[in-house]
Amino acid sequence: MVAYWRLKWAFKDLARTRRRKRIMDVRDGLLRLREMLRLKIPIRKSSETLLLGTWNIRNFDDNRFGHGPRLPESFFYIAEIISAFDIIAVQEIGDELGPLEKLMDMLGTDHDFIVTDVTLGPGGNRERLGFIYDRNKVRFTGTAGELVLPFEDQISDGTRERQFARTPFACTFRSGWFKFNFATVHIYFGKASRTSAEYARRVAEIDKVAQFTAKRARKDKEQAHILVGDFNIEDFEGETFDALDKHGFKVFRNKLGSNLEQNSFYDQISFMPDPDRVVLADKEEDKDPHGVFNPFLAVFREEDFDIYDYRIVELTENRKAAELEEIAELEIKVERTDLAESTLKKARSALNTARGNIVELDAMLADPALRKAYYLNDWRTFQISDHFPLFVELKVDFTEDYLENFEPGEPED
């Protein structure tokens, strides 16, 4: 259970009246979120099923793009969503572990996590992959490792051989009768153009991780193999999906995408078919056993813009001040006569860009409609995420099957 009592201390720096209103706004958001989770996601059952998910939590929480950092309520909302799962794979966890530790503190002692070290190099973005799970329901069974390709299987984009931009991560877990190898990825994106070398690399990464995991699954018959994460798959018809499908992985196909507009299928939950192990739970009334959860139906809604407009004004003013400082430095630089022409050319270009940014920032400060568009399309995605969590409910209690097919035999030595 989320440590709701921490709400009392989350806004202690605010004046009393403002603090009380803020706490009540967050409380209302949590109540809406809890209700929406009950409506959209199967309720966790203690022993019969496993509620498994995946979620790319956008830049958690390094603020490298300057749209944050996350507000206290964002941590409560993210913790509420994660607490609805028995186990969830997470992507884009940042270098600094403080935000993750804060999130885990909110989730309480029943929850634990396993994450990778950061991925270095171009495309790695110093991100971590990992898993958060409820120890009352899921047990880590001791095996964890990053997926490193042998030299002969490395990825080619037509220019060089290489490993994954962000190394996939796999761990073994058990829940009830269900033993599973759980692997998560954050596939390289690059350029969207399907004729680009970056797109070829994206397809190759999906192909190689699926090939690697499928090969392991064919040798290992003792547990299920589940592969999830941000594959940057735009639709079910292109090469990116084919690269996953051709190695035998089956996908829980959702009707809606996992991006903000819900028209792209970047995130996936896939598995190697195993009728004796990977069994989808029965449909529960009007709730599907797999799907996508949109948190913006409950929190950081369009109608909540007025609550956060002052934050966007503050952020815009801070950006303007930083741009003015940059302009002052660049104006001095472009007047220097001791610099090379190439250096001066770059400085003039940067100065023009900064002046253009000032025009845009002034327009935003003057027009609430522009700030609202920014709130809806960008700002709130850095508070929650620009990806929505996926879920699937699997059966993990196979007692009846075991007893019905039980043969006494002879006891083993």
pLDDT interval class at 82 (50, 70, 90): very high
Tell me the C-alpha distance between 267 and 233, whole Å. Answer: 7
Measuring CA to CA, which residue among 391, 364, 374, 389 is closest to residue 300? Answer: 374
45: pLDDT strictly greater than 80: no
In which region does residue 63 sit, left (phi positive, over 0), alpha (psi from -120 to 50) or beta (all else)?
left
Residues 153 and 248 in one domain: yes
Residues 143 and 237 in one domain: yes
Residue 368: helix, strand or coil by DSSP? helix
Tell me the C-alpha distance between 389 and 86, whole Å. Answer: 13
275: pLDDT strictly greater than 80: no
Residue 47 within a domain: yes
Tell me the C-alpha distance between 200 and 187, whole Å. Answer: 12
Residue 412 within a domain: no
Residues 42 and 10 in one domain: yes
Domain count, the chain: 2
Q: Compute the half-sphere exposure of residue 178: CA atoms within 13 Å on the CB side of its CA.
A: 28
Residue 410 within a domain: no
Residues 321 and 176 in one domain: no
Give the tokens for residue 358.
Answer: 């000032």
DSSP calls for 308-353: HHHHHHHHHHHHHHHHHHHHHHHHHHHT-SSS-HHHHHHHHHHHHH
Distances (CA, A) of 263 to 251, 256, 340: 17, 6, 48
Residues 366 and 265 in one domain: no
Distances (CA, A) of 118 to 124, 133, 150: 8, 20, 21
Residue 365 within a domain: yes
Residues 229 and 127 in one domain: yes
pLDDT tens track for 315-358: 999 999 999 999 999 999 999 989 999 999 999 999 999 999 99
Measuring CA to CA, which residue among 230, 297, 228, 289 is closest to residue 259? Answer: 230
Residue 408 within a domain: no
pLDDT tens track for 371-411: 999 999 999 999 999 999 999 999 998 877 778 887 787 76
122: pLDDT strictly greater than 80: no
Residues 278 and 323 in one domain: no
Mean predicted confidence (pLDDT) in 183-188? 95
Residues 211 and 310 in one domain: no
Query: What Rg do the C-alpha atoms of the chain give, in angstroms?
Result: 24
Residue 413 within a domain: no
For residue 3, what is the DSSP state?
-
Distances (CA, A) of 378 to 65, 273, 282, 298: 11, 38, 37, 17
pTM: 0.93
Confidence at residue 291, expressed as pLDDT on a 0 to 100 scale:
96
Mean predicted confidence (pLDDT) in 20-46? 93
Tell me the C-alpha distance between 65 and 23, whole Å. Answer: 27
Residue 241 within a domain: yes
Residues 174 and 84 in one domain: yes
Q: Strand pairing partners for 290?
A: 392
Residues 201 and 347 in one domain: no
Residue 56 within a domain: yes
413: pLDDT strictly greater than 60: no
Confidence at residue 30, expressed as pLDDT on a 0 to 100 scale:
97
Confidence at residue 129, expressed as pLDDT on a 0 to 100 scale:
97
For residue 282, what is the DSSP state?
P
Residues 258 and 329 in one domain: no
Tell me the C-alpha distance between 166 and 185, whole Å. Answer: 8
DSSP calls for 263-276: ----EEEEE---TT
Residues 210 and 121 in one domain: yes
**Domain range holding 392?**
4-298+385-403
Q: What CATH number is associated with residue 87?
A: 3.60.10.10
State the Cα angle at 293 between 123 and 285, rounded to 5°: 150
6 Cβ contact partners less than 8 Å away, ≥ 6 residues apart: 76, 106
